[in-house]
Homo-oligomer: A and B are copies of this chain.
Amino acid sequence: MSEAGEASRAPSKWVFTFGAGRADGSAVDKDLLGGKGANLAEMSRLGLPVPPGFTISTEVCAAYYDLGRTLPDELKPMVDAALDDVGRITGARFGDIENPLLVSVRSGGRASMPGMMDTVLNLGLNDQTVEGLARRTSDPRFAYDTYRRFIQMYADVVLGIDHGLFEEILENYKALKGFELDPELGAEDWAEIVTRFKALVETEQERPFPQDLHEQLWGAIAAVFGSWQNARAIAYRRLHDIPDDWGTAVTIQAMVFGNRGDNSATGVVFTRNPSTGANELFGEFLLNAQGEDVVSGLRMPQPLTEAAYGASSNNKASFEAALPQAFAELKKSCAKLEKNFRDLQDIEFTVQEGELFMLQTRAGKRSTKAALKIAVDMAKEGLISREEAVLSLNADQLDQLLHPTLDPSAKMTVLAKGLPASPGASSGEIVFDADEAVHMKAQGRDVILARVETSPEDVQGMHAAVGILTTRGGMTSHAAVVARGMGRPCVVGAAAVHIDLEHGTLEAGGVQLHKGDIVTIDGSTGRIIKGRVTMREPELSEDFTTLMGWADEFRRMDIRANADTPDDARQALAFGAQGIGLCRTEHMFFEESRILALRKMILAETPEARRKALATLLPAQRQDFIALFEVMAGRPVTIRLLDPPLHEFLPHGDVAIAEVAEAMGVDVAKLKRRIGVLHEFNPMLGQRGARLLVSHPEIVEMQARAIFEAAVEAGKALHDRVIPEIMVPLVAAKAELDIVGERIAATARAVEKERETSLAFQVGTMIELPRACLMAGEIGESAEFFSFGTNDLTQTTFGLSRDDAGRFLGEYAEKGIIHHDPFTTLDEAVGELMQIAAERGREVRPDLKIGLCGEHGGDPETIVFCEKIALSYVSCSPFRVPVARLAAAQATLRSKSR
């Protein structure tokens, strides 16, 4: 530590000046100067009117902490010299009684941390210089007002004296004098306030307010560096993944004043509209005010342009009308900055007695809709390339555009919050039972299915519902995964909601709702709201289509969707999916007539009886695949054979068991015995996937036959050959795939013979166990494709059940044990296993097609990794397809630029 400290104190340039059309640094020096300092230097270089100043680099911040919160001695002469430079440019001098230089001292890190660190304004005033300022400006009221503002801020930031105590003095004084508003106070009043403020400081810290301007300056610099480690800043960094060792820079800049009369002003401008993306100046300003006044909200800001004035009900003059010359200069500056930075800029400016000063510029935050429009417009304007346009967007945020959202202006009673598991919002009648959901949907009613947790039995009901709410489970619980796949809004793990099935009630936030009451859920925020809320329907703009088209040009990986039904498949195609990467056949079995046949199969005692039961499923299953193949019209379709353990298809609980036993005409005891035999301690690690298929070859035969017969039928309808990709789940050893694969091949031969045709198909495997990754060299000999099942691979690599992890993953994130939910963003160890599998698989089969079909397929960070290991495709929920398309294009572009 001390060595590193020494290193960072090695002789170096620590202070960087800017102003008068020159600067030591530029916009590229963000690491050293922080965002604010670098952009001030850049603006100065561009010849924009920037008050002169200098930036103390982030290296000094490191030195400050290495020295135990002490500023290095070598800094002083550098700061003094820079201060002299500023004086030379402004004509004023720090501490000059005749023409005192006033400065601001501001923080500025590599990454924006708005409001997290400290600032001191108007520094350079004491009992002498305040008089000089009064004389120089011929405005004693301004001088004393500025002095009292300084004392208050300095005392708060540097001396740690409660801000409220100063407010109290001011309020008392105003009450005493019968004043209502600050403007009513005159120079004498402010001078009196200054006296009282100084007295307060002396009482609080047992020494007078510092009159030594250099003491003030160094105190402020140290305070700003010190604020890097305040609790707020630390928490913010943790939340935003900003490293603690980056540190902040400190920028010291000559003050300019927007409160010097009606030809002075202060304001904020965006070079384009950050809400709509329209190419028009957008912002607001206040005449005769300082920046704080805009923020404080005491005065109503005025519109910037005449156009905005016309469009609004604001009856105050626009900046364009009030200060036309300054506006013209601002407009020019905005154009210059946007051209220079090639991005939307968010700019702070001040006009001091008619003269425009630029105080800050940075990339402007914008809505997703605006981001799209700006990117497309700028590319069309030739300001940026199409590649840059594609790269400029946050892929994750695209999701916002694809779902209905709550009207933000609507009033609402939020009952509770859960995890935002599947985006979008919906309103409907509460229902607690999946069958009832189906029933009510058939009557044309909108229902929200509320369950403690869901299981595959509930899938039909989930499909029937307009939204799903669970009180248990995490972001990758059954409910969450299925809902995302269906594009249904979903809130999970709402622990504060209590469902009482017996009485058919739901209680949350002290409110009790009954079955049939209306509730609204917001799957984008996790909110559960009483009653109906106005919605905004999603609308995909032309800009969206344009930009996605560009993305598709640049993208190397294919994007497929996880889709189990023709509806899902149609949705996926609408969102631009190029195929189906995962069709989970088990979801097809939960229709009433089918699950009965499946249960008969499970209860059968012999392979023959099992075959007979399965035969009744064949026509329906075949029809499923015909429909799917027809919708996909020749695009690749990967069908996964039955994966879940058989007990998932049997009823749970005495009542359900009795019902099913009656419906099936079997003995309750027999059914219970079979359920008992099939019970597993850890179903996730039990007899499922390949293990089930190896021991129940008749299931493989039925499913393969349905697939092949459907391929023949659909092929005829499409006048094109359908080449299904059949996927064997949960393989741990090559021999499992060989055994199941041989059954598939034998079925193909039989169908070929019966139909007098030849079939083309591929047999591949999910790679979803650590062992499968390590044995990929063997498995690859038998697999025509790999598809990473990253959900299960994450579960097994971590030894972590996604259904049980909800209980502690929150605490783990809080304690910094994990930085991302590994079920959302691929974990590095899981990634390493995938990389090993890809390498070993390709070693034995260089043209091996490798995809990913877990929940991670729609996560941009994961997609970057998939590009790195050169996967052929990723497959995700239909509603994530646009996100994946964009993220994949960005990944390709970034990998090329590396």
Binding site for B on A (CB under 8 A): 680-687, 691, 694-695, 730, 732-733, 735-736, 739, 768-771, 774-775, 792, 795-801, 803-804, 807-808, 811-812, 815-818, 827-830, 832-833
Contacts and interface: CB of A to CB of B under 8 A. Distances in A.
Contacts of A735: 815-817
A878 to B, nearest CB: 27
A487 B553 CA distance: 68
B832 A695 contact: no
A864 to B, nearest CB: 20
Nearest to A473: B681
A799 B732 contact: yes
Nearest to A684: B682
8 contacts: A681-B804, A683-B804, A685-B799, A686-B801, A732-B798, A735-B817, A774-B797, A774-B832
Contact of A685 (B684, B739, B808): B684
A161 B816 CA distance: 78
Contact of A803 (B682, B801, B829): B682
B681 A684 contact: yes
A804 B684 CA distance: 10
B792 A739 contact: no
Given A683-B804, A770-B799, 8 more contacts: A681-B684, A682-B685, A686-B804, A695-B808, A768-B799, A770-B770, A771-B797, A795-B799
A680 B804 contact: yes
Given A680-B804, A684-B681, A769 B799 contact: yes
A856 to B, nearest CB: 16
A739 B687 CA distance: 36
A22 B160 CA distance: 105
Q: Work out how many copies of this chain go into the complex.
A: 2
Contacts of A804: 680-683, 685-687
Nearest to A681: B803
Nearest to A733: B817
Contacts of A733: 817-818
A804 B678 CA distance: 10
A815 B735 CA distance: 9
Nearest to A812: B694
B800 A797 contact: no
A694 B811 contact: yes
B681 A683 contact: yes
- Residue from A694, A695, A768, A798 with most neighbouring chain B CB atoms (10 Å): A798
A816 B739 CA distance: 10
- Residue from A801, A816, A827, A832 with most neighbouring chain B CB atoms (10 Å): A801
- Residue from A685, A796, A803 with most neighbouring chain B CB atoms (10 Å): A685
Given A694-B815, A817-B694, A817-B736, A771 B792 contact: no
B770 A800 contact: no
Contacts of A807: 686-687
Contact of A808 (B687, B769, B792, B833): B687
A685 B474 CA distance: 15
A832 to B, nearest CB: 5
A463 to B, nearest CB: 23
Contacts of A769: 797-799
B799 A829 contact: no
A686 to B, nearest CB: 4
Contacts of A811: 694-695
A482 to B, nearest CB: 16
> Which 3 residue pairs are nearest across A and B when measured between Cβ atoms?
A685-B801, A682-B801, A770-B770
B695 A800 contact: no
A585 to B, nearest CB: 20
A610 to B, nearest CB: 15
A75 to B, nearest CB: 35
B808 A799 contact: no
Nearest to A818: B733
Contacts of A771: 797-799, 827, 829-830
Nearest to A815: B739
A770 B736 contact: no
A743 to B, nearest CB: 12
Contacts of A730: 799
A768 B797 CA distance: 10
Nearest to A730: B799
A798 B736 CA distance: 13
- Residue from A733, A828, A833 with most neighbouring chain B CB atoms (10 Å): A733
B739 A817 contact: yes
Contacts of A695: 808, 811
